[in-house]
């Protein structure tokens, strides 16, 4: 834990504060105020990301600090899902915003780094960006799955999908990106290290998370909506494996491998 | 669902779940042991079973063939598995037995500057094989991020990053005076001739980057020091500063010629992320001579099966996006707008 007394740090804390207050206000049924605060948090999160970009002079997706900072700009995804995909959970997204900014604000080191040779590739940005976007969709799916399991829905809007179907739709959106991320990563591995698949721990965890969703699709195809609780459990299991993929591999000294510079 | 289809579906799901657990187990083993595991006989049987069930699925579920997106996904998976098995060690052995194709799957080459080489040391570290062409290393070099820096640190921890600009005086403040970098060496060499010490830079014969630094104290004392990148941490008892010459590597570059029957048939500078492709092999910048900068180490890999895997990747991605986004997610937008 460290507090960052820098412009960068202050921007992160301000965005987190706005998201948190937005969340509480929305819970208290002050929807309008909540939305405004959420938008404000987003603007600050964009500023904070832009500031970082200016600071390091390359797309800031190099390490976990930058990746979490990027995921803090979740608002457009909320809007897209609500308006176009008819999936709610905006309130949960505010919380997701706080959760993803927390490690950037308090855990990871923000010291700017030069890009090592292996990361100087045009595949670097799409590979990571696609993964991050997919993780946001999967986080939203998890939120929907939890509301399916607990039977509590925070969305009163008639036009929105019920939680089980919303979970499915979020996973459909996320899985396409997850597949792209995996394939781009594999291709990059071939270009940079000579192998499209190295059986490195990070690769194996990401394969496992991808496969959990493959399992979800087939299970749901076999049983449809007859086993809603199990469908939701698959979705949550997927998120658990994603969190391990993203964090544990980098943080624990248990695994060492090619991806370990990305801390 | 008919009984047979049900069985295929369950078999597929079971194989998927088994692979989830296998991947997680492999992650605990580390890359090297995981690689051995997935190439072992029992796991090879598993891969074949996966291909078999996927094919069975394509045969018994008519929708998997009729819906193009679904067939792209599942057929793509078959190609990826088949391609990687074809390109594995066992696949290479099989091709050598069946068709007499004797290709190196993967190995390393050490090439000295100015020399050409066609020998590949295989992964096991014991065997050596020949390539049908040779590779000449014209030059190997390290590139560093600019500007480079000299780090100056006092005994109580105050520090500065002095950009390496020869001849420019850098002011450290009233108490400390100035620092000037007088000369930068690629390969610092020193000889003693009689009473005299002669310092030269001989970049051709080795690798010993260094800086010559002049420190002017505010009271007028002038001291001169050499700072070596590869030997950090030198400090004289009377010195006020710890000096470090620390550079960040931006790239490793090997300038190569491919030589076939005495003629240069291709040339390329390879770097990390920019391999050379020739004669069914990819050549990668893998390592180098950290002591003297005289040789490069290339990694060689055969491209057998790669085309199948890449075709499978494209099919998988196109299929998944088509099925899940355009049929799944966005199809509802159309409905809505009607
Ligand atoms: C192991 C053998 C497999 C079998 C027997 C199998 C079978 C099936 C079947 C029957 C469907 C339903 C098609 C329909 O909607 O009518 C399906 C859907 C699907 N399969 Fe597979 N599959 C297998 C492996 C895989 C793998 C390895 C992937 C990896 C990407 C995959 C990805 C998908 C996807 C994305 C769908 C669409 C799901 C949806 O629209 O909800 N399948 N599969």
Q: DSSP states of B67-127 as a string?
A: SHHHHHHHHHHHHHHHHHHHTSHHHHHHHHHHH------EEEEEEEBT-EEEEEEETTSS-
For the stretch A26-65, pLDDT in tens is 988 888 899 999 999 999 999 999 999 998 888 888 888 8
Is A183 close to B313, i.e. CB distance below 8 A? yes
**Whole-number pLDDT of residue B250:** 87
pLDDT at A111 over 90: no
| Residue-by-residue DSSP string for A135-176 | HHHHHHHHHHHHHHHHT------TTSPPHHHHHHHHHHHHHH
Closest CA to A181 of B71, B320, B18, B38: B320
The per-residue pLDDT for A258 is 44
Do A98 and A173 lie in a common domain? no
pLDDT at B334: 53
Confidence band, pLDDT 50/70/90 cuts, at residue A255:
very low
Whether the CB of B39 is below 8 Å from some CB of chain A: the reply is no
Tokens 């970098």 locate to B181
Q: What number is the ipTM of this complex?
A: 0.90
Write out residues 276-315 of B within 8 Å (CB-CB) of A.
282, 284, 286, 299, 301, 306, 309-310, 313
Put simply, whether B38 touches A (Cβ < 8 Å) is yes
Residue B249 to residue A208, Cβ atoms within 8 A: no
Name the residue among B221, B218, B235 with its Cα closest to residue B151: B235
List Cβ neighbours of A247 (8 Å cut-off, separation of 6 or more): A64
Contact residues for A119 (Cβ-Cβ < 8 A; gap 6+): A62
Distance, in Å, from the CA atom of B260 to the CA atom of B53, rounded to the nearest integer, reads 46
**Average pLDDT of the segment spanning A125-150:** 93
pLDDT < 70 regions, chain B? 1, 328-338
The first and second tokens of residue B199, run together, are 């310092």
Cβ-contact B143, B272 below 8 angstroms:
no
pLDDT score recorded for residue A260: 45
Cα B106 to Cα A10, A199, B197, B269, B307: the distances in Å are 50, 16, 49, 21, 17
The last residue of one of the domains, among A99, A115, A131, is A115
Chain B residues near residue A249 by CB distance under 8 angstroms: 27
* Backbone φ and ψ of A59, nearest 5°: -55, 120
Between residues A113 and B280, the one the model is more confident about = B280
Whether A108 and A124 map to the same domain: the answer is no
Q: Count the domains in chain A.
A: 2
Do residues B323 and B68 touch, judged by C-beta distance below 8 A? no
Residue A156, pLDDT score: 65
**Ligand 1 within 6 A of B191 CB?**
no
User: Looking at residues A217-240, what average pLDDT do you find?
Assistant: 92
Residues A97 and A185 in one domain: no
* Domain B105-143+250-301: top CATH class: mainly beta
Say if residue A96 is in the same domain as residue A147: no
**How far is the C-alpha of B304 from the C-alpha of A111, rounded, in Å?**
43
The pLDDT of residue A115 is 79
- A222 ligand 1 Cβ < 6 A: no
CB B77 within 8 Å of CB B54: yes
Residues 6+ apart with CB under 8 A from B158: none
| pLDDT at res. A204 | 94
Residues B273, A175: C-beta atoms closer than 8 Å: no
For residue range B152-191, list pLDDT tens digits in order. 888 888 888 898 888 888 998 888 889 999 999 988 988 8
Q: How many CA atoms lie within 13 A of A227 on its CB side?
A: 14
Q: Are A203 and A245 part of one and the same domain?
A: yes
Residues of chain A positioned with their CB less than 8 A from the CB of B313: 183, 186-187
* Residue A227 CA, ligand 1 centroid: distance in Å: 18
Contact B16 A215 (CB under 8 A): yes
Measured in angstroms, how far is the CA atom of residue B309 from the centroid of ligand 1? 19
pLDDT tens-digit map of A161-174:
888 889 999 999 99
If you average pLDDT over residues A179-207, what whole number do you get? 92
pLDDT at position B172, please?
Answer: 87
- What is the B74 CA–ligand 1 centroid distance (Å)? 7
* CATH number, residue A223: 1.20.120
Q: What is the largest CA-CA distance in chain A?
A: 55
> Quick one: pLDDT at residue A217?
95
Token pair of B264 as six digits: 């240069």
Query: Which residues in chain B have their CB less than 8 angstroms from residue A187's CB?
Result: 310, 313
What is the structure's pLDDT at B332?
A: 60
What is the structure's pLDDT at A263?
Answer: 39
Range of the domain at A59: 1-115
What would the mean pLDDT of A89-101 be, rounded to a whole number?
90
* pLDDT greater at residue A226 or residue B69: B69
Residues A133 and A259 in one domain: yes
CA B57 to ligand 1 centroid distance, Å: 9
pLDDT-based confidence at A233, cuts 50/70/90? very high
A108 band by pLDDT with thresholds 50, 70 and 90: confident
Cross-chain CB nearest to B23 (options A118, A169, A204): A204
CA of A228 to the centre of ligand 1 (A): 19
In this prediction, residue B134 carries a pLDDT of: 93
Question: Which are the contacts of B149, defined by CB distance < 8 A and separation ≥ 6?
Answer: B161, B162, B163, B164, B246, B247
Asked if the C-beta of B225 comes within 8 angstroms of chain A's C-beta atoms, the answer is no
* Domain range summary for chain B, segments of one domain joined by +: 2-97+305-337, 105-143+250-301, 146-247
């Amino acid at each position: 834990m460290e507090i960052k007394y820098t412009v960068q740090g202050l921007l992160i804390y301000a965005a987190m504060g706005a998201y948190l207050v937005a969340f509480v206000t929305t819970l208290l049924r002050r929807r309008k105020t909540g939305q405004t605060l959420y938008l404000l948090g987003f603007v600050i999160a964009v500023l904070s990301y832009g500031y970082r970009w200016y600071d390091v002079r390359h797309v800031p997706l190099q390490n976990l600090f930058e990746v979490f900072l990027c995921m803090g700009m979740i608002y457009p995804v909320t809007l897209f899902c609500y308006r176009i995909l008819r999936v709610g959970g905006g309130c949960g997204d505010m919380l997701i915003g706080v959760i993803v900014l927390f490690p950037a604000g308090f855990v990871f080191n923000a010291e700017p780094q030069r890009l090592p040779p292996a990361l100087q590739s045009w595949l670097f940005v799409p590979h990571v960006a696609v993964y991050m976007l997919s993780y946001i969709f999967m986080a939203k799916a998890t939120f929907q799955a939890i509301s399916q399991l607990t039977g509590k829905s925070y969305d009163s809007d008639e036009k929105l999908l019920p939680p089980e179907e919303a979970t499915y739709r979020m996973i459909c959106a996320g899985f396409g990106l997850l597949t792209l991320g995996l394939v781009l990563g594999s291709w990059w591995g071939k270009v940079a290290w000579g192998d499209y698949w190295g059986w490195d721990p990070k690769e194996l965890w990401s394969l496992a998370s991808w496969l959990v969703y493959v399992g979800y699709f087939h299970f749901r195809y076999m049983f449809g909506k007859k086993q809603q609780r199990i469908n939701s459990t698959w979705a949550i299991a997927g998120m658990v494996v994603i969190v391990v993929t993203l964090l544990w591999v980098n943080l624990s000294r248990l695994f060492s491998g090619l991806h370990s510079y990305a801390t | 669902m008919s009984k047979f289809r049900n069985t295929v579906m369950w078999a597929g799901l079971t194989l998927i779940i088994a692979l989830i657990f296998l991947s997680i187990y492999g992650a605990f083993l580390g890359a090297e042991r995981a690689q051995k595991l997935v190439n072992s006989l029992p796991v090879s049987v598993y891969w074949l079973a996966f291909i078999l069930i996927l094919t069975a699925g394509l045969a018994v579920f008519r929708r998997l063939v009729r819906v193009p997106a679904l067939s792209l996904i599942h057929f793509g998976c078959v190609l990826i598995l088949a391609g990687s098995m074809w390109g594995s060690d066992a696949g290479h052995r099989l091709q050598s037995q069946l068709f007499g194709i004797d290709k190196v799957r993967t190995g390393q080459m050490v090439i000295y500057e100015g020399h050409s080489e066609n020998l590949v040391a295989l992964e096991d570290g014991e065997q050596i094989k020949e390539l049908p062409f040779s590779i000449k290393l014209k030059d190997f070099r390290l590139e560093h991020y600019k500007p480079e820096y000299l780090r100056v640190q006092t005994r109580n921890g105050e520090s500065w990053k002095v950009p390496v600009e020869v001849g420019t005086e850098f002011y450290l403040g009233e108490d400390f005076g100035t620092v000037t970098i007088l000369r930068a060496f690629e390969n610092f060499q020193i000889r003693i001739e009689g009473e005299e010490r002669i310092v030269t830079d001989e970049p051709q014969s080795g690798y010993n980057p260094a800086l010559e630094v002049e420190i002017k104290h505010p009271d007028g004392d002038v001291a001169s020091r050499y700072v070596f990148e590869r030997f950090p941490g030198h400090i004289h008892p009377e010195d006020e500063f710890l000096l470090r010459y620390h550079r960040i590597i931006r790239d490793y570059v090997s300038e190569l010629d491919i030589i076939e029957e005495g003629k240069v048939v291709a040339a390329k500078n390879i770097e990390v992320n920019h391999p050379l492709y020739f004669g069914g092999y990819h050549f990668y910048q893998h390592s180098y001579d950290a002591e003297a900068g005289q040789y490069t180490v290339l990694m060689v890999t055969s491209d057998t099966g790669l085309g199948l895997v890449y075709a499978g990747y494209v099919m998988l991605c196109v299929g998944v996006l088509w099925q899940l986004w355009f049929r799944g997610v966005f199809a509802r937008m159309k409905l809505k707008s009607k």
